[in-house]
Chain A
């Protein structure tokens, strides 16, 4: 291929959109490596500690779009202490100093400060897109800087972040000259919003296609906004509460009829169910519906709403829909591809919860289902086997039984065979989360059949090291493995140390791994960071090698131990 000029190669590479394809291409030869790196504009870094910003900048001088992930996944569930790390500041500093013309930044589970946002907003003249998912550490002051300084901002998308809300004035910081917004999502903000500013902003943003409001935006304002933005494709309502006999509500009904483009609907953070009929006319066109924060909509109203949504492809819902409600979903939403059922009462008795019956009904009515997150009271092997047979196309299958070691309530047996059926039938399965009573057997099945598995989450399962070994030996494409409260120890950890360099990361907490095991691994594998998180002083006083390690997180890296680790994180 040496007789093609570089420009031709570059042009060919332009057609490669996936990161993996571009990564693969860069390994072919040094010429391809060179052409690829100069033409690469989008980079995805799944673990911000695997590489340094300096190396990134050196290799990809044409970088325009960067995605970074910080904390381990289990940080979502409070298993990682505050201050663990994942700071974006060094990245923004390094990029700002360089000549990189950053246009897009997407962060997940990272710590973002107001200073970082301020620096970001001032350093890149063409900055267009900021997406923050499950981040923390900043306030609305940081948002004000972004609004004020990013003259060509198109997307500001804040998903499920913990943001200190100082006031609603940040919206007013968008200058009058800013007319480029296509997407604005501030649903996770808890404070008040300057409604007049919001209306004016929407009025001067003709390209706005996605708008998700927070709880502070009342129905009257929603109506006025929709008048100005009838071309919206994605809408997240704020507070959806009003008197259904009022003029405002009637105006809303009329306005919504004009919004023929809405395909994604979410929000209803506060809701008066009697006002729901206003949205029925647009339900037929919806492909995505997220009611997982709409605790105010109950059983029968929920079902009535769903009956209008025949074209749904994605549905996020609370378990108060019940098995009966899921049967309605199954009969109405035959195009469904992704379903998430969240618990409305995670610690309660769960009268409203769903069971295996709901899932079986879904599998019958929705054969295109490929992604599932299902929190339920119970599950049976028979149900899982049926689901596996009806839906062989699962890519993501995450089951969470609220009682984590509950067996099949009918047979009182472990759920090994049920999950075994899933992995055997779903040959494209990439992500799996297990729960319920499980023995080593389920891991045998996973190792044997889950050939495409990339991410596995395990809790309270298995009997011995064999379980973990089956997975490490069998799943060739495994990238992320996270384990908590399982009897896996040093023998499993150390059996195939080279495996971890083929993976992004391994998390083990409350298992049988000891300090000796972790130290041994760290010694043998210098390109892994083996971190111990220990929150109790005990370990410092007498760190005996035989002591069990509470939390271990290891990951491959090209840049050695990180320098920003707090006191309670030891890099071995």
Chain B
């Protein structure tokens, strides 16, 4: 059976195509069209399906209609892998496949965990993930008093080997300087945050 794709040009699907922008705004239409096109699956799925898997693929991809600048596209920008791997060894650890994996220890826990810092967009997400991973609650953060209202304080070891309180510096700076995490408990924890 022939694909219907070949006849798309005659059917003027454009007139009935779902758009992401307001009607009548040409440039934005084009942008939206291109955003959709980046994911390379037509909104009306014209090709024959092979069961449900393909459908879910299409849906999954539609959900990722992020602006291209943020999404990492395979093979883009077109730089030789050799060059990408050899230019900035530190950077490539972060930007390439593996993400930023860091050890997380919790005082009193028998073994450590590892998290990928790269998947979090900021402190709230990170702290929530830690809370759920280790089944505890972190208190409220304030610049003056650190984490109030709980026995625990999330800390990290920075590039210079010093133990710092999580949350003091901007997220980007934290991402690039954090070497490992430790959730301190009890008196040690309280000592770090408050001035008392």
Instruction: Enumerate chain A interface residues (CB-CB to B < 8 A).
Output: 74, 76-79, 134, 160-162, 188, 292-293, 295, 318, 342-348, 375, 400, 402-407, 412-414, 433, 437, 439, 457, 459-460, 464-465, 484-485, 487, 489-491, 510, 512, 514, 516-517, 538, 541-542, 544-548
Q: Is the CB of B9 within 8 A of A491?
A: yes
Enumerate B63-89 residues with CB–CB distance to A below 8 Å: 68-69, 72-84, 86-88
**Given A405-B38, A514-B47, A546-B48: A77 touches B2 (CB 8 Å cut-off):** no
Closest-by-CB residue of B relative to A78 is B75
Q: Is the CB of A437 within 8 A of B3?
A: no
Contacting residues, chain B, for A484 (C-beta < 8 A): 75
Q: Is the CB of B6 within 8 A of A295?
A: no
Tell whether B93 is near chain A: CB-to-CB under 8 Å.
no
Closest-by-CB residue of B relative to A412 is B27
Q: Is the CB of A74 within 8 A of B77?
A: no
Closest-by-CB residue of A relative to B79 is A346
CB pairs A–B below 8 angstroms (12 shown): A76-B78, A162-B82, A346-B95, A459-B78, A485-B38, A514-B5, A538-B50, A538-B54, A544-B50, A545-B1, A545-B2, A546-B48
Q: Is the CB of B87 within 8 A of A295?
A: yes
- CA A544 to CA B27, docked complex, whole Å: 36
Contacting residues, chain A, for B72 (C-beta < 8 A): 347
User: Which of B29-37, B99-107, B127-135, B157-165 forms part of the interface with chain A?
Assistant: B29-37
Q: Is the CB of B82 within 8 A of A402?
A: no
Q: Is the CB of B95 within 8 A of A160?
A: no
Contacting residues, chain A, for B78 (C-beta < 8 A): 76-77, 400, 433, 457, 459
Tell whether B4 is near chain A: CB-to-CB under 8 Å.
yes
**Given A343-B79, A404-B73, A405-B68: A487 touches B3 (CB 8 Å cut-off):** no
Number of A-B residue pairs with CB-CB distance less than 8 Å in the complex they form: 135
- CA A457 to CA B50, docked complex, whole Å: 32
CB distance from B143 to the nearest CB of A (A): 26
Contacting residues, chain B, for A541 (C-beta < 8 A): 50
Q: Is the CB of A403 within 8 A of B69?
A: yes
Q: Is the CB of B84 within 8 A of A346?
A: yes
Q: Is the CB of A510 within 8 A of B68?
A: no
CB distance from B165 to the nearest CB of A (A): 26
4 tightest A-B CB contacts, nearest first:
A77-B75, A546-B3, A542-B50, A160-B82
Contacting residues, chain A, for B83 (C-beta < 8 A): 160, 292-293, 342
Tell whether B40 is near chain A: CB-to-CB under 8 Å.
yes
- CA A465 to CA B95, docked complex, whole Å: 35
Contacting residues, chain A, for B95 (C-beta < 8 A): 346-348
Q: Is the CB of A79 within 8 A of B75?
A: yes
Of the listed residues B1, B6, B69, the one surrounded by the most CB atoms of chain A closer than 10 A to its CB is B6
Q: Is the CB of B76 within 8 A of A413?
A: no
Contacting residues, chain A, for B9 (C-beta < 8 A): 464-465, 491
Closest-by-CB residue of B relative to A375 is B77
Q: Is the CB of B2 within 8 A of A459?
A: no
Instruction: Enumerate chain B interface residues (CB-CB to A < 8 A).
Output: 1-6, 8-9, 27, 30-31, 34-35, 37-38, 40, 47-48, 50-51, 53-54, 68-69, 72-84, 86-88, 91, 95
CB distance from A401 to the nearest CB of B (A): 9
- CA A403 to CA B47, docked complex, whole Å: 29
Closest-by-CB residue of A relative to B47 is A546
**Given A162-B82, A346-B95, A545-B1: A538 touches B37 (CB 8 Å cut-off):** no
CB distance from B47 to the nearest CB of A (A): 5
Contacting residues, chain B, for A400 (C-beta < 8 A): 77-78
Contact partner of A343 among B51, B77, B86, CB < 8 A?
A: B77
**Given A295-B88, A347-B72, A405-B68: A545 touches B3 (CB 8 Å cut-off):** yes
Of the listed residues B34, B37, B76, B80, the one surrounded by the most CB atoms of chain A closer than 10 A to its CB is B76
Q: Is the CB of A546 within 8 A of B4?
A: yes
Q: Is the CB of A546 within 8 A of B50?
A: no
Closest-by-CB residue of B relative to A489 is B5
Contacting residues, chain A, for B68 (C-beta < 8 A): 403-405, 460
Contact partner of B51 among A160, A375, A542, CB < 8 A?
A: A542
- CA A464 to CA B9, docked complex, whole Å: 8
- CA A437 to CA B35, docked complex, whole Å: 11
- CA A512 to CA B82, docked complex, whole Å: 30
CB distance from B117 to the nearest CB of A (A): 15
Contacting residues, chain B, for A342 (C-beta < 8 A): 79, 83, 87
Additional A-B contacts beyond A400-B77, A406-B69 (5; CB < 8 A): A76-B78, A293-B87, A348-B95, A404-B38, A459-B78
- CA A342 to CA B83, docked complex, whole Å: 10
**Given A344-B88, A516-B2, A545-B3: A538 touches B53 (CB 8 Å cut-off):** yes
**Given A510-B40, A547-B50: A77 touches B76 (CB 8 Å cut-off):** yes
- CA A74 to CA B139, docked complex, whole Å: 51
Q: Is the CB of A491 within 8 A of B75?
A: no
Q: Is the CB of B31 within 8 A of A134?
A: no
- CA A175 to CA B168, docked complex, whole Å: 61
Q: Is the CB of A134 within 8 A of B27?
A: no
**Given A78-B81, A491-B9: A407 touches B3 (CB 8 Å cut-off):** no
Contacting residues, chain B, for A457 (C-beta < 8 A): 78
- CA A65 to CA B87, docked complex, whole Å: 33
Closest-by-CB residue of B relative to A538 is B50
- CA A407 to CA B76, docked complex, whole Å: 17
Contacting residues, chain A, for B30 (C-beta < 8 A): 407, 414, 437, 439
Contact partner of A346 among B1, B50, B74, B77, CB < 8 A?
A: B77
- CA A464 to CA B5, docked complex, whole Å: 11
CB distance from B13 to the nearest CB of A (A): 11
Q: Is the CB of A160 within 8 A of B80?
A: yes
Of the listed residues B50, B75, B95, the one surrounded by the most CB atoms of chain A closer than 10 A to its CB is B75
Contacting residues, chain B, for A348 (C-beta < 8 A): 91, 95
- CA A465 to CA B9, docked complex, whole Å: 8
- CA A462 to CA B35, docked complex, whole Å: 13
Q: Is the CB of A547 within 8 A of B88?
A: no
